[in-house]
Each structure stands twice: as C-alpha cells, then as structure tokens.
Structure 1
Amino acid sequence: MILSIVIPAYNEERTITELLHKVAASPLPLSIQKEIIVVDDCSTDHTGLLVRAFQQGYPDVSTHYVCQPTNQGKGAALRTGIQLATGDWLIIQDADLEYDPSEYILLLQPLIDGKADVVYGTRFIGNHPHRVLYFWHSVGNKILTLVSNIFTDLNLTDMETCYKVFRTALIQRIDLREKRFGFEPEITAKLARVPGIRIYEVGISYYGRTYSDGKKIGWRDGFRAMYAILKYNLFVA
C-alpha cells in the first residue's frame, strides 16, 4: 500500500527541508510506503534547490519535484499533485510546520480499518497541542465551517483544515477548479455530493505560525472561501 503526500510549496525555504525530514520519518506500518510529491508554485527563493538536495541525500525516499511554470496558487498546485499521485491514499501536507507529519497514522487509521473514504484532521477537538494565535482567524474558520455545514448537511468542526486524507481514486475523479485557498470549501462541497461517502474527523495538533513566520492566508482569502461555499453548493456541480 502507498500513501501519496502532496506538498504545495511557495517560497518555503525556511521550513521545507525540516518538513521533508519529518515527512520521511513519520511512522507508518511496514506495509505502507510513502510517495512524496512536492509541487513548487514557481517559488522565487531556494525552495526548489532544497527539495532537490533532499532528493539527492535520501535516494531511498520516493520524492517527486514539480515546478509550476507560473505562480497559480495553492489550489492549482494541489490539482497538479493530485493528478500525479499513484498511491492508494492521498494526504495534503502544507510546506510550513503548522501540522505534524507524525500524526499521519492517526489520520489513516479509519481508512486502514475500512471505515472511511475521507478523513479530516480537525484542530478543534481532542487533547492535542494547539498554539494560541489570532482570535479573528479562529472566528473566521468557525464561521466558514458553519456556513459550509449548512449547505452540505455535514457536521464538520474544521472544514478549513489542511490535513485531509482521501482514497486516491476518489479525489482524482473530482473536477477541481479553485486556484487558491478556495480549494477547501470546494472539495468539501463536492465530497458531500458523493453518494454513500464516509467522512470522518480525527483530532490533530496545530502549531500555527504568524505572518512574520511566513503565514500567507489573509482576509481576502476568507471572502474567497465564502464565495466558494456559495458557488460550489448552489451553482456549480
């Protein structure tokens, strides 16, 4: 069995090497191998060079590096990575260090047990470390999750989470269109329409970063996420 780990990256030279080491070291059952796919969204720093250095230093780790021809956004990078994946399952991993790769096994367990088709890692349930940061970001996340739930009739606690694990065959069948941070509400809306789909949530840790640390999402992305909720639940199949 193979777990494909799709990592969209844009100007992440400060964290990408440490992140790749953590991904490579994350514990999984011996029967599950890792396939790392880094999609560089046309970075202007040394992100690409550092990924290639990791490839050379760890030739036994299956690592693929792809650079987008132009900067298109996280959603576009994810589309590229998803289509390149060959694993049985696929997890999305941000290139920063906000999410802990050592928790892959927690997210995979419902899939391994044959109980789930998709697992969301929620930052808002369970006794896991959670860095205290921006109040209005947390309010915005909860409002977006609430509005999304109203339309999808799901009872998610963290729709905007990065950590989502899918059966690869399922996610590759879904027509994704969002180029930036609208990916989260779009994929949630489209998953909710899949007949008989089984979606689980698992509590995860969260080590949020500040804007000085390189955090990129802003209030404009919140408005785009709200637009995407309405668009993909009401107007676009």
Structure 2
Amino acid sequence: MQRLSIIIPAYNEEKTISLILDRINEVKLIRNIEKEVIIVNDCSKDNTEAAIQRYMSDTPNLTINYFKYIKHDVNQGKGAAIHTGIAQATGDYLLVQDADLEYDPGEYNTLLKPIVLASADVVYGSRFMGGNPHRILFFWHSIGNRVLTFLSNMMSNLNLTDMETGYKVFRTAIIQRIYLHEKRFGFEPEVTQKVSMIPGIRIYEVGISYYGRTFAEGKKIGWKDGFRAIYCIAKYGLFNNQLFRKPSEIKAPAQTVG
C-alpha cells in the first residue's frame, strides 16, 4: 500500500474545514503511506470554498502529498459528494472523512492496521466497541443506529456493530467498481449491503473515538434519513439487481496535483 485517498465531502463547513485539514496534516501514516486529500464542496452557501483555497495556498510544511478540490454546481447531498470523490481517488485504499470534527484523523493508523497486517479489503470504524472516548449525546439516536445496524446485519449476514459509522476504508479498485445510487445519507446502508455481496470480500471492524455534534452545532442527519436507511437496507438487500459497473462506465480519475 503506497497511497491513501481521503475524501472530504463538505457542505457549509467554513468553521471546521481548516481544522480538519490541520489534523490530517499532522498525521504520519504507518509505513510512510502517502496522503491524497480530495475535497468535494457540495455547493456550500457559506465561505467553505475560500477557507479551502486559503488553506491550500497558505499552509506551510504540508505532509499531504496530493490535493484535489472539486465543487458541485448544485447541492446534491453527501452521498453524491462521496461518489465524486470515489471516482477521483488514485490511492490503493480510500476513506471518507467528514469535515465536522466528529471523527479523529489521528486514528487513521488504527483503521489501516488490519489492511497492512492482514490485507483487509474493507475496514469499518465502530463507535460502539473499544475503550476510546465518546461524547455523550442522544439516547434515541444511538438506539436508532443500533436498530439500523441490526436490520442491515440481517440482510447482509454480517456481524457489524456500527453500520452507520462515518469511518469506512475501502480498497479503491473494489469501491470504484460498485454501482452506487444513493445521493444523501443512504450511502452507508447501500454500500454495506453491496460490499457484503462480493465473493471473498474481507471486512474488518476496529474501535474508534466519536466526538459527536448536536443539531445546534451543525449536525445534519435527521429522522427522515433513518427511515430512508431502512428503505435502502430492504431495497439493496433484497432487490439489488446491479452490483458492479460495466467497464465502460468506470472513468479514469484526473491527474493528482502535488
């Protein structure tokens, strides 16, 4: 493994985008793995773009080897931003990093350990296992996550503890082949159902920290997204007619910029 692609979907994150980039910049990956950061601005209405450009041009001593910045002309949703980032990834593996500081880039090496030691294809970071710090927030939100994980496991025959986690690492050659539909928060249940169907796929799970936000602090997912997740679990678990893209539908990523 030579390069990790870090996809950052961003929508109205001017207050935190520079902070998350700082934390990514501070991380030294095991075995001198390179970092490729792909920021997808999903048509933010605030000064997210200016904050990103200022960081890219003014920050000294960057340890990030490659930067890509992409902007959607219209807001399409977090899932759509992830799709764009996946298509542009050139790393051997990729992960999704939210721009809101809920997940700690300092734990990248924890996520990568099953890959470099056991050649895992997919690694999930679980907020519900291990002894790492977790901010105490909403009871019903945590129950909802566990119910969704339970339903997802029933369909996928996996034994995950946290299907809805924002930290998922994928072998890039595999995830770029998967046909993904969901444009919003349905990405999590859809991709979980689909990777579980790949013959011989090696999926690991590791414990991670979680520094959750309240809705007043900018958290965007709501109860409607929970019902959508149930729909996606059933749809892609029972009626998944197309798992992989046709070779002609896979676009080569653009050249990376150092």
TM range (shorter): over 0.9
Q: Which residue of 2 aligns with 1:92?
A: 96
Structure 1 match to 2:112 = 108
What is the aligned partner in structure 2 of residue 24 from structure 1? 25
Secondary structure in structure 2 of the residue aligned to 1:54: helix
Do residues 4 (structure 1) and 16 (structure 2) align? no
Distance (whole Å) between structure 2 residues aligned to residue 135 and residue 79 of structure 1: 31
State the Cα distance separating 1:201 from its structure 2 match. 0.3
State yes or no: 1:151 paired with 2:158.
no
The match for 2:73 among 66, 69, 83 is 69
> Is 1:180 equivalent to 2:184 in the alignment?
yes
CA distance in 2, matches of 1:12, 1:132: 23
**Equivalent residue of 1:34, what SS?**
strand
Is 1:121 equivalent to 2:128 in the alignment?
no
1:166 match: 170
- Structure 1 alignment gaps of length 5 or more: none
Which amino acid in the other structure matches residue 53 of structure 2? Answer: R
Residue 236 of structure 1 and its aligned partner are, at CA, apart by 2.2
Alignment partner, residue 226 of structure 1: 230
Alpha-carbon shift at residue 89 of structure 1 (Å): 0.8
Between the aligned residues of both structures, percent identity stands at 60
Aligned-residue Cα RMSD (Å) equals 1.0
Give 1:43's aligned residue: 44
- Aligned residue pairs, count: 237
In the other structure, the counterpart of 1:210 is 214
Which secondary structure state, in structure 2, belongs to the residue aligned with residue 186 of structure 1? helix
**Could you list the runs of 4 or more consecutive aligned residues of structure 1 that deviate by over 6 angstroms after TM superposition?**
none
| Unaligned residue ranges in structure 2 (runs of 5+) | 242-258
- What CA distance in whole angstroms lies between the structure 2 residues aligned with 1:220 and 1:143? 15
For residue 150 of structure 1, give the secondary structure of its aligned residue in structure 2. helix
SS of residue matched to 2:73: coil
Give the Å deviation of 1:30: 5.0
